[in-house]
Structure 1
Amino acid sequence: MTITASSPLTRKLSTFVALSDAELAVLERLHQRRRSFAAGRDIVHQGQSDQAAYILSAGWVCSYKIQPDGTRQIVDFQIPGDFLGLRSVLLRTSDHSFEPIVNIQAAEVLAGDLLEAFAKMPRLATAILWAASRDEAMVVEHLVGLGRRDADTRLAHFLLELGARLALVGLGNKAGYDCPLTQYHLADALGLSAVHVNRVLRQLRENGLLTFRDGRVSYDDHDRLMEFAEFDSLYLDQSGPLLK
Protein backbone atom coordinates (compact mmCIF):
# COMPACT_ATOMS: atom_id res chain seq x y z
CA MET A 1 0.00 0.00 0.00
CA THR A 2 1.31 3.46 -0.92
CA ILE A 3 1.34 6.32 1.56
CA THR A 4 -1.32 8.03 -0.54
CA ALA A 5 -3.68 5.06 -0.27
CA SER A 6 -4.26 5.92 3.40
CA SER A 7 -3.73 9.69 3.15
CA PRO A 8 -6.27 12.25 4.38
CA LEU A 9 -7.09 13.25 0.79
CA THR A 10 -7.79 9.63 -0.16
CA ARG A 11 -10.02 9.19 2.90
CA LYS A 12 -11.90 12.34 1.91
CA LEU A 13 -12.34 11.53 -1.80
CA SER A 14 -13.32 7.95 -0.95
CA THR A 15 -16.44 9.41 0.65
CA PHE A 16 -17.56 10.29 -2.86
CA VAL A 17 -16.05 7.59 -5.07
CA ALA A 18 -14.49 4.15 -4.56
CA LEU A 19 -11.01 4.88 -5.92
CA SER A 20 -9.37 2.31 -8.21
CA ASP A 21 -5.71 1.30 -8.08
CA ALA A 22 -5.07 3.39 -11.20
CA GLU A 23 -6.68 6.45 -9.60
CA LEU A 24 -4.66 5.92 -6.42
CA ALA A 25 -1.51 5.77 -8.55
CA VAL A 26 -2.37 9.15 -10.10
CA LEU A 27 -2.96 10.60 -6.63
CA GLU A 28 0.44 9.22 -5.60
CA ARG A 29 2.06 11.12 -8.48
CA LEU A 30 0.29 14.31 -7.43
CA HIS A 31 1.90 13.90 -3.99
CA GLN A 32 5.47 13.64 -5.34
CA ARG A 33 6.57 17.22 -4.61
CA ARG A 34 6.32 17.04 -0.82
CA ARG A 35 7.26 20.23 1.02
CA SER A 36 7.28 21.61 4.56
CA PHE A 37 6.19 25.12 5.47
CA ALA A 38 6.70 27.06 8.70
CA ALA A 39 3.83 28.52 10.69
CA GLY A 40 3.04 32.17 10.00
CA ARG A 41 4.59 32.43 6.52
CA ASP A 42 2.11 32.66 3.65
CA ILE A 43 2.18 29.86 1.09
CA VAL A 44 0.07 31.85 -1.37
CA HIS A 45 -0.37 35.62 -1.36
CA GLN A 46 -3.53 37.45 -2.35
CA GLY A 47 -3.04 38.72 -5.91
CA GLN A 48 -0.25 36.25 -6.69
CA SER A 49 -0.20 34.77 -10.19
CA ASP A 50 1.25 31.60 -11.74
CA GLN A 51 0.78 29.71 -8.49
CA ALA A 52 0.73 25.99 -7.86
CA ALA A 53 -1.94 24.32 -5.77
CA TYR A 54 -1.12 22.25 -2.69
CA ILE A 55 -2.55 19.16 -1.05
CA LEU A 56 -2.37 19.56 2.72
CA SER A 57 -1.22 16.34 4.37
CA ALA A 58 -0.42 17.50 7.92
CA GLY A 59 -1.19 20.63 9.92
CA TRP A 60 -3.73 23.45 9.74
CA VAL A 61 -3.92 26.48 7.43
CA CYS A 62 -6.14 29.54 7.34
CA SER A 63 -7.29 31.22 4.12
CA TYR A 64 -7.91 34.94 4.46
CA LYS A 65 -8.40 38.25 2.70
CA ILE A 66 -6.88 41.58 3.71
CA GLN A 67 -9.23 44.55 3.52
CA PRO A 68 -8.17 48.03 2.34
CA ASP A 69 -8.01 49.22 5.97
CA GLY A 70 -5.58 46.40 6.82
CA THR A 71 -8.03 44.22 8.74
CA ARG A 72 -8.17 40.49 8.10
CA GLN A 73 -11.18 38.30 7.38
CA ILE A 74 -10.51 34.59 7.66
CA VAL A 75 -12.51 32.83 4.96
CA ASP A 76 -11.99 29.30 6.25
CA PHE A 77 -9.55 26.87 7.81
CA GLN A 78 -7.94 24.05 5.85
CA ILE A 79 -7.20 20.69 7.46
CA PRO A 80 -5.36 17.58 6.21
CA GLY A 81 -6.93 16.30 3.00
CA ASP A 82 -7.85 19.76 1.71
CA PHE A 83 -6.56 21.47 -1.42
CA LEU A 84 -4.94 24.88 -1.04
CA GLY A 85 -5.17 27.35 -3.90
CA LEU A 86 -7.05 25.11 -6.31
CA ARG A 87 -8.81 28.13 -7.82
CA SER A 88 -5.50 29.96 -8.30
CA VAL A 89 -4.37 27.17 -10.64
CA LEU A 90 -7.36 27.81 -12.91
CA LEU A 91 -7.68 31.58 -12.43
CA ARG A 92 -4.99 34.13 -13.32
CA THR A 93 -4.44 35.30 -9.76
CA SER A 94 -5.19 34.09 -6.25
CA ASP A 95 -8.10 35.99 -4.69
CA HIS A 96 -6.95 35.30 -1.11
CA SER A 97 -3.93 34.21 0.93
CA PHE A 98 -3.05 30.98 2.75
CA GLU A 99 -1.12 31.04 6.02
CA PRO A 100 -0.03 27.94 7.99
CA ILE A 101 -1.29 28.11 11.56
CA VAL A 102 1.25 25.47 12.61
CA ASN A 103 4.16 23.89 10.77
CA ILE A 104 2.64 21.94 7.91
CA GLN A 105 3.43 19.38 5.24
CA ALA A 106 1.91 19.72 1.79
CA ALA A 107 2.40 18.40 -1.73
CA GLU A 108 2.89 20.99 -4.46
CA VAL A 109 0.71 20.33 -7.51
CA LEU A 110 1.48 22.14 -10.77
CA ALA A 111 -1.38 23.15 -13.06
CA GLY A 112 -0.14 20.92 -15.89
CA ASP A 113 0.05 17.86 -13.66
CA LEU A 114 -3.44 18.47 -12.31
CA LEU A 115 -4.97 18.94 -15.78
CA GLU A 116 -3.19 15.82 -17.03
CA ALA A 117 -4.60 13.84 -14.10
CA PHE A 118 -8.09 15.15 -14.90
CA ALA A 119 -7.74 14.11 -18.55
CA LYS A 120 -6.53 10.59 -17.69
CA MET A 121 -8.88 9.93 -14.80
CA PRO A 122 -12.27 11.65 -15.22
CA ARG A 123 -13.72 9.93 -12.12
CA LEU A 124 -10.87 11.37 -10.06
CA ALA A 125 -11.55 14.78 -11.60
CA THR A 126 -15.20 14.40 -10.60
CA ALA A 127 -14.19 13.52 -7.03
CA ILE A 128 -11.97 16.61 -6.79
CA LEU A 129 -14.83 18.71 -8.21
CA TRP A 130 -17.02 17.21 -5.45
CA ALA A 131 -14.46 18.32 -2.85
CA ALA A 132 -14.39 21.84 -4.32
CA SER A 133 -18.20 21.96 -4.41
CA ARG A 134 -18.30 20.83 -0.78
CA ASP A 135 -15.93 23.67 0.14
CA GLU A 136 -18.28 26.10 -1.61
CA ALA A 137 -21.23 24.69 0.35
CA MET A 138 -19.33 25.36 3.58
CA VAL A 139 -18.68 28.98 2.55
CA VAL A 140 -22.42 29.38 1.92
CA GLU A 141 -23.14 27.94 5.38
CA HIS A 142 -20.63 30.37 6.91
CA LEU A 143 -22.43 33.28 5.21
CA VAL A 144 -25.70 32.09 6.75
CA GLY A 145 -23.96 31.90 10.11
CA LEU A 146 -22.60 35.44 9.84
CA GLY A 147 -25.93 36.85 8.72
CA ARG A 148 -28.52 34.88 10.69
CA ARG A 149 -27.06 33.07 13.72
CA ASP A 150 -26.34 34.66 17.05
CA ALA A 151 -22.83 34.40 18.45
CA ASP A 152 -23.51 31.32 20.60
CA THR A 153 -25.01 29.17 17.86
CA ARG A 154 -22.57 30.53 15.25
CA LEU A 155 -19.54 29.41 17.23
CA ALA A 156 -21.09 26.08 18.27
CA HIS A 157 -22.09 25.33 14.66
CA PHE A 158 -18.61 26.19 13.37
CA LEU A 159 -16.85 23.98 15.91
CA LEU A 160 -19.21 21.10 15.10
CA GLU A 161 -18.47 21.58 11.39
CA LEU A 162 -14.72 21.42 12.06
CA GLY A 163 -15.27 18.25 14.07
CA ALA A 164 -17.25 16.61 11.25
CA ARG A 165 -14.59 17.54 8.71
CA LEU A 166 -11.83 16.11 10.91
CA ALA A 167 -13.78 12.93 11.60
CA LEU A 168 -14.00 12.35 7.84
CA VAL A 169 -10.20 12.11 7.61
CA GLY A 170 -9.74 10.17 10.85
CA LEU A 171 -8.70 13.09 13.06
CA GLY A 172 -11.80 13.50 15.20
CA ASN A 173 -14.75 11.66 16.73
CA LYS A 174 -17.81 12.28 18.92
CA ALA A 175 -15.53 12.89 21.90
CA GLY A 176 -13.81 15.83 20.20
CA TYR A 177 -10.64 16.77 18.34
CA ASP A 178 -7.28 18.49 18.66
CA CYS A 179 -7.49 22.11 17.52
CA PRO A 180 -4.59 24.61 17.27
CA LEU A 181 -6.84 27.63 16.70
CA THR A 182 -6.72 30.60 19.04
CA GLN A 183 -9.65 32.75 20.06
CA TYR A 184 -8.26 35.39 17.68
CA HIS A 185 -8.50 32.93 14.77
CA LEU A 186 -12.11 32.16 15.64
CA ALA A 187 -12.88 35.86 16.04
CA ASP A 188 -11.49 36.69 12.58
CA ALA A 189 -13.46 33.83 11.02
CA LEU A 190 -16.78 34.47 12.75
CA GLY A 191 -16.99 38.25 12.74
CA LEU A 192 -16.66 38.50 16.52
CA SER A 193 -14.16 40.03 18.91
CA ALA A 194 -11.76 37.76 20.80
CA VAL A 195 -13.41 38.91 24.03
CA HIS A 196 -16.81 37.83 22.70
CA VAL A 197 -15.42 34.44 21.61
CA ASN A 198 -14.01 33.94 25.11
CA ARG A 199 -17.38 34.77 26.65
CA VAL A 200 -19.26 32.37 24.35
CA LEU A 201 -16.81 29.53 24.98
CA ARG A 202 -17.26 30.04 28.71
CA GLN A 203 -21.05 29.90 28.33
CA LEU A 204 -20.87 26.72 26.26
CA ARG A 205 -18.65 25.13 28.91
CA GLU A 206 -20.83 26.24 31.83
CA ASN A 207 -23.91 24.89 30.04
CA GLY A 208 -22.25 21.47 29.77
CA LEU A 209 -22.07 21.51 25.97
CA LEU A 210 -18.44 21.96 24.92
CA THR A 211 -15.01 22.66 26.40
CA PHE A 212 -12.17 24.22 24.40
CA ARG A 213 -9.00 24.08 26.47
CA ASP A 214 -5.27 23.43 25.87
CA GLY A 215 -5.66 22.90 22.14
CA ARG A 216 -8.51 20.40 22.47
CA VAL A 217 -12.22 20.71 21.66
CA SER A 218 -14.15 18.26 23.86
CA TYR A 219 -17.85 17.60 23.38
CA ASP A 220 -19.38 17.48 26.84
CA ASP A 221 -22.79 16.58 25.36
CA HIS A 222 -22.54 16.05 21.61
CA ASP A 223 -26.24 15.41 20.96
CA ARG A 224 -27.39 18.42 22.97
CA LEU A 225 -24.74 20.60 21.31
CA MET A 226 -26.04 19.50 17.88
CA GLU A 227 -29.56 20.45 18.93
CA PHE A 228 -28.43 23.77 20.37
CA ALA A 229 -26.56 24.72 17.18
CA GLU A 230 -29.30 23.32 14.91
CA PHE A 231 -26.48 21.51 13.14
CA ASP A 232 -27.47 19.43 10.12
CA SER A 233 -24.42 17.92 8.41
CA LEU A 234 -26.28 17.28 5.15
CA TYR A 235 -24.41 20.12 3.40
CA LEU A 236 -21.10 18.34 4.13
CA ASP A 237 -22.24 15.38 1.98
CA GLN A 238 -20.41 12.72 4.02
CA SER A 239 -22.95 9.92 3.76
CA GLY A 240 -20.91 7.55 1.55
CA PRO A 241 -19.69 6.93 -2.02
CA LEU A 242 -21.97 7.96 -4.86
CA LEU A 243 -19.79 6.38 -7.55
CA LYS A 244 -18.56 2.81 -7.41
Structure 2
Amino acid sequence: MDSAKRFTVLLDGVACFSTQHEDGARQIYAFHYPGDFLGLHGFVFPRSVEFSEVQALTSCSIGTIDRDALEQAMQRHPALGRALWRAALTEVSIFRQRLVVSRRPALQRVAYLLCEQLVRLGDDERVIPLTQIDVADAAGLSVVHINRVFQELRQLGVLSKQRLIEVVNKDRLHELAAFDPGYLDPGEALSQWDLHIEN
Protein backbone atom coordinates (compact mmCIF):
# COMPACT_ATOMS: atom_id res chain seq x y z
CA MET A 1 0.00 0.00 0.00
CA ASP A 2 1.34 3.45 -0.95
CA SER A 3 1.51 5.34 2.34
CA ALA A 4 1.97 8.58 0.42
CA LYS A 5 -1.55 8.21 -1.05
CA ARG A 6 -3.38 6.29 1.67
CA PHE A 7 -3.79 6.80 5.40
CA THR A 8 -4.34 3.64 7.45
CA VAL A 9 -6.02 3.13 10.83
CA LEU A 10 -6.12 -0.12 12.82
CA LEU A 11 -9.76 -0.96 13.52
CA ASP A 12 -9.33 -4.31 15.26
CA GLY A 13 -6.48 -6.57 16.40
CA VAL A 14 -2.87 -5.98 17.41
CA ALA A 15 0.01 -5.00 15.13
CA CYS A 16 3.59 -3.82 15.53
CA PHE A 17 6.09 -1.55 13.83
CA SER A 18 9.24 -3.61 13.28
CA THR A 19 12.41 -4.33 11.31
CA GLN A 20 13.66 -7.71 10.17
CA HIS A 21 17.46 -7.92 10.45
CA GLU A 22 19.70 -9.84 8.05
CA ASP A 23 20.10 -12.69 10.55
CA GLY A 24 16.32 -13.09 10.70
CA ALA A 25 15.92 -11.44 14.11
CA ARG A 26 12.99 -9.07 14.50
CA GLN A 27 13.21 -5.74 16.31
CA ILE A 28 9.86 -4.31 17.43
CA TYR A 29 9.79 -0.55 17.96
CA ALA A 30 6.13 -0.06 18.90
CA PHE A 31 2.87 -1.94 19.30
CA HIS A 32 -0.39 -0.78 17.71
CA TYR A 33 -3.91 -1.23 19.08
CA PRO A 34 -7.38 -0.39 17.67
CA GLY A 35 -7.66 3.31 16.90
CA ASP A 36 -3.93 3.73 16.18
CA PHE A 37 -2.70 5.22 12.93
CA LEU A 38 -0.45 2.77 11.06
CA GLY A 39 2.66 3.94 9.26
CA LEU A 40 2.04 7.49 10.39
CA HIS A 41 5.62 8.44 9.51
CA GLY A 42 4.82 7.62 5.86
CA PHE A 43 1.97 10.12 5.94
CA VAL A 44 3.89 12.89 7.70
CA PHE A 45 7.09 12.25 5.67
CA PRO A 46 5.87 10.63 2.42
CA ARG A 47 9.28 10.78 0.71
CA SER A 48 11.23 9.18 3.55
CA VAL A 49 13.05 5.91 2.86
CA GLU A 50 11.72 3.39 5.36
CA PHE A 51 13.09 -0.09 6.00
CA SER A 52 10.60 -0.89 8.75
CA GLU A 53 7.13 -2.31 8.33
CA VAL A 54 3.82 -2.72 10.08
CA GLN A 55 3.19 -6.38 10.91
CA ALA A 56 -0.05 -7.97 12.14
CA LEU A 57 0.39 -9.91 15.39
CA THR A 58 -3.23 -11.10 15.46
CA SER A 59 -6.08 -11.10 12.98
CA CYS A 60 -6.51 -7.41 12.11
CA SER A 61 -8.97 -5.12 10.37
CA ILE A 62 -7.87 -1.80 8.92
CA GLY A 63 -9.52 1.26 7.43
CA THR A 64 -7.95 3.43 4.74
CA ILE A 65 -8.52 7.08 3.90
CA ASP A 66 -7.38 8.79 0.72
CA ARG A 67 -4.65 11.33 1.52
CA ASP A 68 -6.35 14.14 -0.41
CA ALA A 69 -9.67 13.44 1.32
CA LEU A 70 -7.95 13.50 4.72
CA GLU A 71 -6.20 16.79 3.99
CA GLN A 72 -9.53 18.34 2.95
CA ALA A 73 -11.16 17.02 6.13
CA MET A 74 -8.35 18.54 8.24
CA GLN A 75 -8.96 21.93 6.59
CA ARG A 76 -12.65 21.74 7.53
CA HIS A 77 -11.99 20.27 11.00
CA PRO A 78 -8.74 21.61 12.56
CA ALA A 79 -9.19 19.29 15.57
CA LEU A 80 -8.55 16.36 13.25
CA GLY A 81 -5.21 17.84 12.23
CA ARG A 82 -4.30 18.37 15.88
CA ALA A 83 -5.19 14.73 16.66
CA LEU A 84 -2.95 13.58 13.82
CA TRP A 85 -0.09 15.77 15.04
CA ARG A 86 -0.58 14.52 18.60
CA ALA A 87 -0.47 10.89 17.43
CA ALA A 88 2.78 11.58 15.56
CA LEU A 89 4.35 13.15 18.67
CA THR A 90 3.27 10.20 20.81
CA GLU A 91 4.80 7.76 18.32
CA VAL A 92 8.10 9.66 18.41
CA SER A 93 7.99 9.74 22.23
CA ILE A 94 7.59 5.96 22.34
CA PHE A 95 10.61 5.46 20.05
CA ARG A 96 12.70 7.85 22.14
CA GLN A 97 11.68 6.20 25.41
CA ARG A 98 12.56 2.78 24.00
CA LEU A 99 16.14 4.05 23.50
CA VAL A 100 16.30 5.44 27.05
CA VAL A 101 15.02 2.22 28.62
CA SER A 102 17.23 -0.05 26.47
CA ARG A 103 20.20 0.62 28.79
CA ARG A 104 18.39 -0.63 31.89
CA PRO A 105 18.55 -4.16 33.37
CA ALA A 106 16.34 -6.74 31.65
CA LEU A 107 13.76 -6.99 34.46
CA GLN A 108 13.22 -3.24 34.59
CA ARG A 109 13.18 -2.99 30.77
CA VAL A 110 10.44 -5.62 30.47
CA ALA A 111 8.46 -4.17 33.38
CA TYR A 112 8.58 -0.74 31.70
CA LEU A 113 7.39 -2.19 28.42
CA LEU A 114 4.48 -3.95 30.14
CA CYS A 115 3.52 -0.74 31.98
CA GLU A 116 3.47 1.09 28.65
CA GLN A 117 1.11 -1.49 27.15
CA LEU A 118 -1.29 -1.22 30.10
CA VAL A 119 -1.49 2.56 29.64
CA ARG A 120 -2.06 2.14 25.90
CA LEU A 121 -4.80 -0.46 26.49
CA GLY A 122 -6.65 1.51 29.19
CA ASP A 123 -6.79 1.75 32.97
CA ASP A 124 -9.08 -1.24 33.51
CA GLU A 125 -7.13 -3.66 31.33
CA ARG A 126 -5.00 -6.31 33.03
CA VAL A 127 -4.30 -8.72 30.16
CA ILE A 128 -1.71 -7.68 27.60
CA PRO A 129 -2.49 -9.32 24.22
CA LEU A 130 1.14 -10.08 23.32
CA THR A 131 3.31 -13.19 23.44
CA GLN A 132 6.59 -13.54 25.31
CA ILE A 133 8.33 -13.58 21.92
CA ASP A 134 6.73 -10.23 21.02
CA VAL A 135 7.98 -8.75 24.30
CA ALA A 136 11.44 -10.28 23.76
CA ASP A 137 11.69 -8.70 20.31
CA ALA A 138 10.63 -5.32 21.70
CA ALA A 139 13.00 -5.49 24.69
CA GLY A 140 15.96 -6.80 22.68
CA LEU A 141 16.20 -10.04 24.66
CA SER A 142 16.51 -13.70 23.69
CA VAL A 143 13.57 -16.05 24.22
CA VAL A 144 15.52 -17.86 26.97
CA HIS A 145 16.25 -14.57 28.77
CA ILE A 146 12.67 -13.30 28.47
CA ASN A 147 11.42 -16.59 29.90
CA ARG A 148 13.60 -16.06 32.99
CA VAL A 149 12.35 -12.49 33.36
CA PHE A 150 8.72 -13.62 33.20
CA GLN A 151 9.39 -16.33 35.79
CA GLU A 152 10.88 -13.69 38.09
CA LEU A 153 7.89 -11.37 37.58
CA ARG A 154 5.58 -14.25 38.51
CA GLN A 155 7.66 -15.02 41.62
CA LEU A 156 7.42 -11.34 42.60
CA GLY A 157 3.63 -11.57 42.38
CA VAL A 158 3.38 -9.13 39.48
CA LEU A 159 2.09 -11.54 36.83
CA SER A 160 -0.39 -14.38 37.13
CA LYS A 161 0.74 -17.99 36.68
CA GLN A 162 -1.31 -18.21 33.47
CA ARG A 163 0.36 -18.51 30.07
CA LEU A 164 -1.15 -15.23 28.93
CA ILE A 165 0.41 -11.99 30.17
CA GLU A 166 -1.91 -10.95 32.99
CA VAL A 167 -0.80 -8.24 35.43
CA VAL A 168 -2.12 -8.91 38.93
CA ASN A 169 -0.17 -6.21 40.80
CA LYS A 170 0.03 -3.04 38.73
CA ASP A 171 1.49 -0.92 41.55
CA ARG A 172 4.38 -3.34 42.05
CA LEU A 173 5.00 -3.44 38.29
CA HIS A 174 5.18 0.38 38.19
CA GLU A 175 7.57 0.33 41.13
CA LEU A 176 9.89 -2.23 39.49
CA ALA A 177 9.90 -0.26 36.25
CA ALA A 178 10.25 3.20 37.83
CA PHE A 179 7.55 3.98 35.27
CA ASP A 180 6.61 7.52 34.24
CA PRO A 181 3.72 7.55 31.72
CA GLY A 182 4.14 11.22 30.79
CA TYR A 183 5.80 10.41 27.44
CA LEU A 184 2.62 8.71 26.22
CA ASP A 185 0.65 11.99 26.29
CA PRO A 186 2.21 15.16 24.81
CA GLY A 187 -0.04 17.18 27.10
CA GLU A 188 -3.37 18.91 27.10
CA ALA A 189 -1.76 22.14 25.95
CA LEU A 190 -1.38 20.71 22.44
CA SER A 191 -5.14 20.65 21.88
CA GLN A 192 -5.29 24.36 22.67
CA TRP A 193 -2.69 25.43 20.13
CA ASP A 194 -3.66 27.47 17.07
CA LEU A 195 -1.26 26.54 14.31
CA HIS A 196 -0.62 29.04 11.52
CA ILE A 197 1.56 28.51 8.43
CA GLU A 198 2.93 31.74 7.06
CA ASN A 199 4.12 32.11 3.48
Alignment of 1:1-244 (within 5 A): 50=4, 52-89=6-43, 90-92=45-47, 95=50, 96-146=52-102, 148-167=103-122, 173=124, 176-179=126-129, 181-211=130-160, 213-219=162-168, 221-237=169-185, 243=191
Cα 1:239/1:123, change in 2 over 3 Å: closer
Q: For 2:96, give the aligned amino acid.
A: V
Letter in 2 for 1:187: A
- 1:132/1:49 Cα in 2 relative to 1: closer, same or farther (>3 Å)? closer
Secondary structure of the 1:57 match is: strand
Cα deviation digits, residues 164-184 of structure 1 (max 9, x gap)? 0110xxxx52x61241x2221
Equivalent pair of 2:128/2:165 in contact (CA under 8 Å) = yes
Q: Distance in 1 between matches of 2:99 and 2:5?
A: 27
TM-score (norm 1): 0.70
Query: SS of the counterpart of 2:160?
Result: strand
Secondary structure of residue in 2 paired with 1:55: strand
Runs of at least 5 residues in structure 1 that lack an aligned partner in the other structure = 1-43
Q: For residue 115 of structure 1, what is the amino acid of its counterpart?
A: E
Distance in 1 between the 2:91 and 2:171 partners? 25
When residues 117 and 213 of structure 1 are mapped into structure 2, their CA distance, relative to the original with a 3 A threshold, is: farther
Q: Distance in 1 between matches of 2:19 and 2:131?
A: 18
Alignment size in residue pairs: 190
Q: Gaps spanning 5+ residues in structure 2: where?
A: 193-199
For residues 161 and 94 of structure 2, the distance between their equivalents in structure 1, rounded to whole angstroms, comes to 22
Query: Which whole-Å CA distance do the structure 1 matches of 2:15 and 2:108 have between them?
Result: 24
User: Which secondary structure does the structure 2 equivalent of 1:109 belong to?
Assistant: strand
Residue 6 of structure 1 corresponds to none
Q: 1:141 to 1:192 in 2, by over 3 A?
A: same
TM normalised by structure 2 equals: 0.85
Deviates more, 1:62-71 or 1:191-200: 62-71
- In structure 1, what residue type is equivalent to 2:21? Q
CA shift in 2, pair 1:132/1:239, >3 Å: closer
Identity of aligned residues (%): 34
For the residue of structure 2 that corresponds to 1:213, the secondary structure is coil
